[in-house]
Amino acid sequence: MSINRTIYTSSEARILSGASEWAVVSGVQNASVAFNSPNTPVNAFGSRGIIDNVQMEPQTATATFSFALPSGTGNGSHISPTMFNQLMQNSLLDTPQPIHVRIAGVGTVISGFLSSFSVNAAVGDLATCEMTFEGIPSGGMVGNDTDGELPDKISPVAAISYPVLTADRISGFGGGSNEGAGGNPATNNIAGFGASVQNTTFSWEVPVERVMSLGLTPSEASTFPNPPGTASITAQGMDMPLNITGIIVGGYKFSLGTQARVSSREHNLAVGDVGATYNITMDATADSCVCSDS
């Protein structure tokens, strides 16, 4: 028996809005699609084994992919800051537009929404963004390996090459502080973090809920993002304790908004260290965040 193999050179990640292609994601490093069917086995007196296996809740599907961030915007098919912000804002609407995600040779999720993303940058590593979309399986019942659930491999792929983001194109900015008795610590500006930072993460999440009704089957459940969600920025290894309310990674500017507040702060110093380091986490809600051109 021959083995059917799919490798990264024949796959790509596409985001679709309705029947229209919305974006081809370039620089993808890894991707996964997960399907889940929450069935309930039913046992009964006088019978061995189960008498039925009932689906009590809606099936779910999740598509997650990570891509290397570009050094700037205007890179053809890559997701622009405006498109990124549209995905974020769509998950906050009363009637959001369903999004479909197709990863060639891996799987497809339909009628989904952006449920979370994180931007990660650290000294010595590629700066990456991981995005997760939650929806339903495209091929109907979970476990049926239809063409919809396992889309064909692509040759050639449509993703493009581009300059990859490097550490000198990563910076941060800060607003006010609610640090109380110690007064407001110095804040940095858009030109840079204002401090030596070893790694930073911007995280955004809006949970996706499935709402069922009596008289309808689980497959007829309605899917809704559920704002306000959560968002945070973590900066570690700073040489000064500064408040960070947004980060700039290449051509993307991610901001927590003006109401972000410090949720945790850690200061460290030990014999043998080059110097004291400071870690900070700022929290806000997802509906206060924006992505714009830097």
pLDDT of 177-189, one tens digit each?
Answer: 333 323 333 343 3
Reduced to 3 states (helix: H, G, I; strand: E, B; else coil), residue 287 is helix
Query: Does some domain include residue 128?
Result: yes
Query: Does some domain include residue 106?
Result: yes
Whole-angstrom distance, CA of residue 28 vs CA of residue 100: 17
Query: Does some domain include residue 48?
Result: no
List the domain range (segments joined by +) for residue 263: 9-36+53-293
Quote the pLDDT of residue 151.
66
Query: Does some domain include residue 47?
Result: no
Taking alpha carbons only, the member of 13, 37, 35, 28 closest to residue 99 is 13
Handedness of CA 47, 217, 64, 256 (dihedral sign): negative
Quote the pLDDT of residue 154.
65
Reduced to 3 states (helix: H, G, I; strand: E, B; else coil), residue 163 is coil
Find out whether 31 and 67 touch, Cβ atoms under 8 Å.
no
Query: Does some domain include residue 207?
Result: yes
Quote the pLDDT of residue 192.
53
Contacts of 240 (CB under 8 A, 6+ apart): 185, 186, 194, 195, 196, 278
Whole-angstrom distance, CA of residue 56 vs CA of residue 214: 12
Whole-angstrom distance, CA of residue 216 vs CA of residue 209: 17
Query: Does some domain include residue 41?
Result: no
Query: Does some domain include residue 45?
Result: no
Residue 145 has pLDDT above 50, yes or no: no
Is the N-terminal amide bond of 41 cis, ω within 30° of 0? no
Taking alpha carbons only, the member of 234, 285, 279 closest to residue 259 is 285
For 52-63, write each residue's pLDDT tens digit: 999 888 989 999
Report which of residues 116 and 275 the model is more confident about.
116
Cα 216–111–129 angle (5° rounding)?
A: 140
Whole-angstrom distance, CA of residue 163 vs CA of residue 121: 16
The structure's pTM equals 0.86
Find out whether 280 and 244 touch, Cβ atoms under 8 Å.
yes
For 210-253, write each residue's pLDDT tens digit: 999 999 988 888 889 999 999 999 999 888 888 889 999 988 99
Whole-angstrom distance, CA of residue 262 vs CA of residue 19: 43
Find out whether 24 and 77 touch, Cβ atoms under 8 Å.
yes
Whole-angstrom distance, CA of residue 183 vs CA of residue 244: 16
Whole-angstrom distance, CA of residue 286 vs CA of residue 233: 12
Quote the pLDDT of residue 195.
67
Structural domains in the chain (count) = 1
Highest mean pLDDT, choosing among 95-99, 114-118, 164-168, 290-294 = 114-118
Query: Does some domain include residue 42?
Result: no
Structure tokens, 165: 């983001």
